[in-house]
Each structure stands twice: as structure tokens, then as C-alpha cells.
């Protein structure tokens, strides 16, 4: 991939050819969230984790918390997780999450989180009517933006997947992410083929995945097709099909291992 399409988040670079590992934190309570963050810091493979994603919407009382409360909590999360760069995500119900918010409320949440020094990146759902404003606001705070699109029902055609990624690229986001649900092995191949094409065409790093058990290959070998990152769990998963971080890193290492002579 062209170096011009790389993006640095904290001290980690996406799009360099290395498949970044992102571990989600899904705690429903503050105590559970901190236990999960501590587990990341204490994990034997913590040095191999590139980003921690805090799913803000999965906090039971996120709707009752003020912006100041959430940003203070983000600071605690990053510190407790050992200072690994933090991606803050408010996943709405429309995209499979738990946040029931208006587009304006969504913008306000993203703006508050992106202004927090502890937050290195934010996820912005590109179909939200305030997405462009959210992206510009986050970037004005020097916070990286990952534009996202999720389809939990199906796998769109390759032209449709590429169309979604092109729409996200047009918003000016720094990284482009799409997750789809397969129903057949061909669906997984469609996602991987689209990934390969997008990696060649797009001027931004892309993150793609096929969800569920059937989509497992995309989470393990997506990097070979151009996906800049994969999500892996330490305990609770945040989406169907996520695999343990130990499994993911072992497979990534196997892909990088020197190849023996052909026999």
C-alpha cells in the first residue's frame, strides 16, 4: 500500500502492511469496564495490541452521563489499559449498537469524545446526517476518524461495498471501515475481493470484515487482501465472529513467518 495512505493513531500506524489488532471493551458498568481495561494491560500479549476500542454505547447508563463524565471515564480507560491508543465508539441502534440518540445528540457525543485528550480516534457512522460535521469536528481536535458502515443482515454486492467505501472516503474520514454479514462462502469471498480492490483504489486505509462464524477467514486473513486491522477479543466480544486475541495473533504471526524452500 502506498505510504500516503497510512494513518498514525497514537504511536501505531494503520495501512503500513502490518495488520493492526483492535481489542474492544464492552463493559456494561464502570467496574466491569475497568476490569476489562485492566485485563488488556495485564495480558501477556498486551504489547501486540495496537488499539483499544471503548464501546461507549454498551455502558448501561451512558445516556444519563454528561459529556464531562464520559470524557473523564475515557481518560480512566486509557490509563487503566496501559496507555494503548483509544478508539471511542458510540454505536447507534441503526448500526447494531445500543445508543438511541438523535443525529444531533450523536454529533454532540462524538464532538465531546474527540475533544478529550485521552481519545486518539473516534468512530463515525457515515450514514448519519451529521457525519460530515462530526468528522470535521473530530479532525479539528486532531483526533483520527474511522468512518464506518455495518450491515448485520447481508453482504452487499462488490460494487455496493466499493460504493459505500467511496462514500466514506468522500466524507474526508481518515480510515474507512465496513462490516457485513455473510450467508454463504461466496459472500465472504465477495467481501475479500472488494477489500483487495478497495486497497488498490482508495487513498485511505480500510478495515473490512465478514461477521459471524462463517466470516472467520476475513478476520484472520483480511490483512493479506488489504484490510489494515482486525478486531480480537479478551473475554467479551463486541460483534459476532470475533476471535480470542491469542488466536488472531498466532495466525497473523504464522502469515509473517519466513517461508521454507519449495519442495
**Domain range list for the chain:** 3-253
CB 220 within 8 A of CB 248: yes
pTM for the whole thing? Answer: 0.94
pLDDT of 257 higher than 80? no
Q: What's residue 229's pLDDT?
A: 97
Q: What is the CATH number that goes with domain 3-253?
A: 3.20.20.70
The confidence band for 256, taking pLDDT boundaries of 50, 70 and 90, is confident
pLDDT of 263 higher than 50? no
pLDDT of 238 higher than 80? no
238 annotated as belonging to a binding site for a ligand: yes
Just list the catalytic residues.
150, 177
Angle at 162 between CA 159 and CA 163, to 5 degrees: 85
Cα torsion angle, 180, 184, 187, 192, sign: positive
Question: Per-residue pLDDT tens for 170-186?
Answer: 999 999 999 999 999 99
CB 148 within 8 A of CB 128: no
112 Rama class: left (phi>0) / alpha (psi -120 to 50) / beta: alpha
263 annotated as belonging to a binding site for a ligand: no
What CA–CA distance (Å, rounded) separates 247 from 26?
A: 20
What CA–CA distance (Å, rounded) separates 40 from 18?
A: 20
Question: Per-residue pLDDT tens for 98-111?
Answer: 999 999 999 999 99
Joined together, the cell numbers standing for residue 198 give 478497495
What CA–CA distance (Å, rounded) separates 8 from 174?
A: 10
Question: Per-residue pLDDT tens for 59-88?
Answer: 999 999 999 999 999 999 999 999 999 999
Cα torsion angle, 89, 95, 97, 103, sign: positive
219 annotated as belonging to a binding site for a ligand: yes
53 annotated as belonging to a binding site for a ligand: yes
CB 178 within 8 A of CB 148: yes
- The owner of cell 481518515 is 174
CB 206 within 8 A of CB 19: no
What CA–CA distance (Å, rounded) separates 80 from 122?
A: 19
Amino acid at each position: 500500500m502506498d505510504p500516503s495512505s497510512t494513518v498514525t493513531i497514537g504511536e501505531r500506524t494503520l495501512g503500513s502492511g502490518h495488520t493492526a489488532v483492535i481489542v474492544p471493551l464492552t463493559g456494561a458498568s464502570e467496574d466491569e469496564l475497568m476490569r476489562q481495561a485492566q485485563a488488556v494491560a495485564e495480558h501477556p500479549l498486551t504489547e501486540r495490541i495496537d488499539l483499544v476500542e471503548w464501546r461507549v454505547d454498551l455502558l448501561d447508563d451512558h445516556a444519563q452521563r454528561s459529556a464531562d463524565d464520559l470524557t473523564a471515564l475515557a481518560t480512566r480507560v486509557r490509563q487503566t489499559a496501559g496507555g494503548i491508543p483509544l478508539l471511542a465508539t458510540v454505536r447507534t441502534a441503526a448500526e447494531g449498537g445500543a445508543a438511541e440518540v438523535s443525529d444531533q445528540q450523536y454529533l454532540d457525543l462524538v464532538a465531546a469524545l474527540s475533544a478529550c485528550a485521552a481519545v486518539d480516534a473516534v468512530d463515525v457512522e457515515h450514514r448519519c446526517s451529521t457525519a460530515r460535521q462530526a468528522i470535521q469536528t473530530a479532525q479539528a481536535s486532531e483526533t483520527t476518524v474511522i468512518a464506518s458502515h455495518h450491515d448485520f443482515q447481508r453482504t452487499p454486492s462488490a460494487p455496493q461495498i466499493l460504493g459505500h467505501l467511496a462514500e466514506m472516503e468522500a466524507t474526508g474520514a481518515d480510515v474507512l471501515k465496513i462490516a457485513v454479514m455473510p450467508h454463504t462462502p461466496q459472500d465472504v469471498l465477495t467481501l475479500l475481493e472488494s477489500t483487495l480492490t478497495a486497497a488498490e483504489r482508495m487513498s485511505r486505509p480500510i478495515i473490512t470484515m465478514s461477521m459471524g462464524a462463517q466470516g472467520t477467514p476475513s478476520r484472520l486473513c483480511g490483512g493479506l487482501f488489504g484490510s489494515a486491522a482486525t478486531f480480537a477479543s479478551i473475554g467479551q466480544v463486541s460483534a459476532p465472529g470475533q476471535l480470542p486475541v491469542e488466536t488472531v495473533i498466532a495466525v497473523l504471526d504464522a502469515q509473517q513467518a519466513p517461508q521454507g524452500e519449495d519442495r
